[in-house]
Structure 1
Amino acid sequence: MATTTPSGVHGAGAGGGAGHASPAPAHASGGAAPMTHRQIMEALSGLLLGMFVAILSSTIVANALPKIVAELGGGQSAYTWVVTASLLTMTATTPLWGKLADLFSKKALLQTAIVIFVLASATAGFSQDTNLLIAARAVQGIGMGGITALVQTVIAAMISPRERGRYTGYIGATFAVAMVSGPLLGGVITDTSWLGWRWCFYVGIPFAVIALVVLQATLRLPTVKRQVKIDWLGAFFVAAAASLLLIWVTFAGDKYDWLSWQSYSMVGGSVALALLFLLVEAKASEPIIPLRLLKNRTIALSSAASMFVGISMFGATVFLSQYFQLARGESPTMAGVMTIPMIVGMFLSTTVSGQVITRTGKWKLWLCSGGVLLTAGLGLLGTLRHDTVYWHMACFMGMLGIGVGMMMQNLVLATQNQVDTADLGAASSAVNFFRSLGGAVGVSVLGAVLSHRITDHVNEGLDKLGIEHGGPTGGAGSEIPDLAELPRPIREVIESAYGHAIGDIYLYAAPVALVSLFLVLLIKEVPLKTTSGLEQQGADGVLSEPAGPSATDTAAHHALQQAGVQRAQDLQAPPSAQEAPESELSGNSQHSVRGTIRNVDGSGVSRAAVTLISLSGSQLGRAVARMDGRYGVDTPGPGSYVLIAAAEGHTPQASTVTVGEEPLRHDILLASTSGLAGRVRSTGDGQPVRNAMVVVTDARGEVLATGRTGERGEFNFDELVPGTFTIAVNAPGYRPIARPVEVETQGVTRIDLELAAGARVQGVIRAGSDRRPLPDARVTLIDAAGNVVATATTAEDGAYGFTDLDAGDYSVIASGYPPVATALNVHGQGADDYDIELHHPDE
């Protein structure tokens, strides 16, 4: 009998197609319709403005900080803390922002983060001492953490990993413009006497207001409607652990020795808080960082690599403005101009790698190349001195920027590609958390090292001049020097000390970057998904609002076509249960149609969509049936109309009704349809099995439907007749399985299946004294119980092979010459090579 495959059979995820039918679009099977390029660009405009504000407000003070800290009377320790404070709070709050994004409106959260960031920036502008400035920067970091985590999460929700590279160019361009214009604008403002450095904090406020307005108008994302429980205890412990660790690395070697009771107490306390955090997360129903995510090899390695990238990136670049102004005597404006090679390298690598990744789907090569360039750039910058030729330094900075650009965004991409939509926020924030934590640790540790290296080099230089110590030498406890006020000999000592000391910290950062390269090499490349977070959400049924035409609309359209009526416009998505309370349902006018929508068993069909159209195809009214199946819809007046009813799990119906001067009673009968859906995962690590063949057969063994699993191991068969069936799954490298399944009379029956890895035995039969390959030799595989598992005959090259074997003990018997029997132990997935030699006894 011929094999039949329902037209609705498809792999629900990207890449999953039906065996004999074209794959249905995501929204046709209950998923959310993918956003168009125009919709994405409109939403990106607000997101990019928000990102621009955050980056601009952060970078605009970079070249002004030496002058700001000097004017407020702070020293090298205060300089480091102005940077570390924002990184500290950003690190501590990033996981919380990410978790909130999985539970609440992403747009409202993003707008809140921008408001916090701007208010803190304004407060920083009013600072009269370094203590208030550091406090304002700490609050600024809270908003920065929200913007960083939420922008990544929203982009992941809108755009599939495979297509994300196409838009990375816009993100990279925004990043580059803000990074370049920030230091330049900050330098110009600082050098302009009638403005002053305080305007560095005020100038971002207009951009923030524009970003809020644009986000309100352009960003439209469905909101998750489910029970919410925030893990506040977990948020406290992760913030406390990170804060205590950073306070320790900031004060160690300055306020107290590295090996002291204070250090032991702080490190021990930080470890204890971290262990408490892990304990709380293991028991929390809605953990801040789901520990199961870190069991995924790619996510764990990406997070660790991000931490080391953060150490080298933040720790190495934050002191560049000090180098140009205090080691080379440049103005704040020129200090910004001189960092352009690094920013251009970052922009080009982000843009080019994103475009190529979109075309090829390959991303690991870029991560590895970025790690090599990052390590090499830092190592070469370790040769810096105050008189280093600038074009040499420009090349080194460009190499550093290219490496950072290749690694930073693509590590987030690799992580987001591994998780379901419900965990996008938590996974994205986890990577950002570890990167921020690394950055904060890097700035603190390298800042402490820099302080001592400056002190050592200054004291060494002053000794050579025969000058007593104790002046503004730029050491750990001294103020940031004003070079213009120093005598020329001392100024040369200070410039040389800063140039040499800042070069030293790059040498400390280079090995850290090498560790990130090693971790990236261990990451296994997984093909990028081609479905966005919204499409995945729709497929999993977690959206509160449809992002496009719903499944009932599509079904109604088919019913309309079957009725011979042409519709004039697209149906709008029906209101959800939350949007259509009973008091708002229509059907109370004189010329209305009322009735009940029932199943074949007589029970009402709740929340069925009812659409009234004219005979010319124009939509005239919409309604949603109540919980008991009752509906009502108003008509324009007496006449004939077409009434369409559709509900999930039912066959849609279209009928012609004639309305007179009184309300018409019209009941509708919907026949139930059944479906079968589920996911296929591997037994060992729980990873989805992609492109596995799924076959459904009936009791007679006839094949009813076939299909292949999608990117997340999912499959979906529509329009199956209720009953008992057999579902069989097989995939390369796995043991095939078959399971009985009872398809219910209504709705979709779900079944999740696990495939055990199948081992392989292969080898070559050789014979004679010259050990030549032996063709046509008989090879028999026997299990431990003495049963013949399989037989094979060698090919012309003497090769044989057995596949899909369970792990265990076997015996291999080869004949052709005098037979040889040998014991063999097979274990795990993969191939065991087992060559056999045959020969006569006299050979």
Structure 2
Amino acid sequence: MLMIPQYLQIVKGASPTSSGLQMLPLMAGMFIASIASGQITAKTGRYKIFPIIGTALMIAAMLLFHFRVQWDTPLWETMIYMLVFGLGLGGCMQTLVLAVQNAVPPRDMGVATASSTFFRQMGATAGTAVFLSVLFSTVGDKISAAFKDAVSTERFQAALHDPAVLHDPANKPVLDMLKHPGNADSSGVLSDSSFIQHLDPRLAEPFKRGFADSMHTVFLMGAIVVALAFVLMWFIKEVPLRQISGLQARAQADAEAEAEADADAVAKSAKSAGGAVEAVDGAAGGAGADSAGADDAAVTPAPAESSGSSESSGSSDPAGTPGADPVPALSGASAPPADRGFGTTGPEIRGTVRDGDGRPVARAAVTLISVDGRQLGRTSTEADGGYALPTTGAGTYVLIGSAGARQPQAVTVVVSGEPVSFDLALGGAAGLSGEVRAEKGDAPVPGALVVATDVTGEVVASGVAGPDGGFAFGELAPGSYTLAVSAERHRPSALPVEVTSGNRNWYEVRLTPGAQVRGTVRTAHGSPVDDARVTLLDPAGNVVGTATSGQDGEYVFTDLDSGEYTLIASGYPPVATPLRLEAAGHGDFDIELGHDPVR
């Protein structure tokens, strides 16, 4: 990218500003490719193909610059090559950042993004130094060779004998260089190339040809480097994209970690009972007609508190007997070995994940693990909250459900030879509510904007206070937040709050009234003054604020403390006028500007 503006300025004679505008096709290519790749990635979840296509386009563009772009190449053709290069660059930049972020755990996303940016900047710095060094070290020889070839041409000789060329002061540096070749420094064209545009076109041609030839070497080296990147792109592992934000993924990972800790406790409790859970046959146990409607599996919350009590219940009790233990009886037979969890081909555990109000929870994570802590399966719920996970066969399992900021649930599920239906209930997240009132008078402030941000400064909830000044946010994860409140004719306020589960989490925010000054700048004849500068000073002479009047001459200052101020308006001879503001003041104050009469 650094070579192209140099080419446009030295060879095409463009100014720095014009060369930047002529590179708009490259920026347009980046813009188009970035948006297109982002939209396709969001819909398909596939992103590996874009860096591969992007690096291929960049190689093609650099080779076109190497072989096709000469000193006299039309500008439109060069712009087409810029567009190709921009398309390739746009397909790589954000996609590679996305790949890095998606390849690390949510807690390491910030470190991964910073590392990616750091190494990209290091590579750009090193590449700039290397490629410019190559350009500076070769451009002198290339220009000298171009002059040697041009001297023998009739066109160049005609220029040397043209009286108009000989008497033009702008051509003197080149003529002196030709008379004294040993004192020439043709590489100095890179430090100041402006003189080339003032030379006779026949004398300037060797400079332009030499720079274009030197630039070809740089583009060929760049194509080789990008070709190595093209090969490496094929080895990128395409990890499926997360369907939730980084904060949600981190909260879910923490919830799953807590659930796995609960599962470990269940496994230890099961092992301490002295044996494994015996498989339950759906037709065994002598169940009569009164047990036909009973479930094929029993469910107890994790961790199990009295696993040993089921030993005394006996295996002959009917499944539907009111006093029967819901956990199948333990016997001397051993459960299937732990490594059997690798083949999840047994009966399914299916059901629905709901919140505390009974509504289905979509995209909740449901994980199935064995009693010794091995993960056997994992899925996400559908829009109706439904899920289904296969098991390794009859036995006891731990089912874990989690969803964002909601309270996770872990239960033990006993599976017989038939599919088991079991619904999970996830406790709702914590809420935050309160009221916005005026500092004086205790009156509610309806319409106040209330924004809640987390510890990283990201906005997690926002709303407008009701007629009674009340506000409420639901579905917040427990933790620390900052409430920022603003309202018209009041000064903004911020308040740190703590949100905990099971508590009211109610806060009152007080807003201090803010004074406002507005008015019109007029001439002595009453006409409004456009673009007049109005300055507001406090009693100590400090500038509180400045404003510029509009076409109607109006100006305004907001969010002011009560007290005395001085207004200064300029545009005509300055006029200073004292004024006083009350706490909740809203005053109009016009200013007259005019010239002194001519005498």
* Higher helix proportion (structure 1 or 2): 1
**For the superposition of Structure 1 and Structure 2, which TM-score range results when normalised by the shorter chain?**
0.3 to 0.5
Greater RCO, CA 8 A, separation 6+ = 1
Scaled by the length of structure 1, the TM-score of the pair is 0.31
Rg larger in structure: 2
* Higher strand proportion (structure 1 or 2): 2
Scaled by the length of structure 2, the TM-score of the pair is 0.42
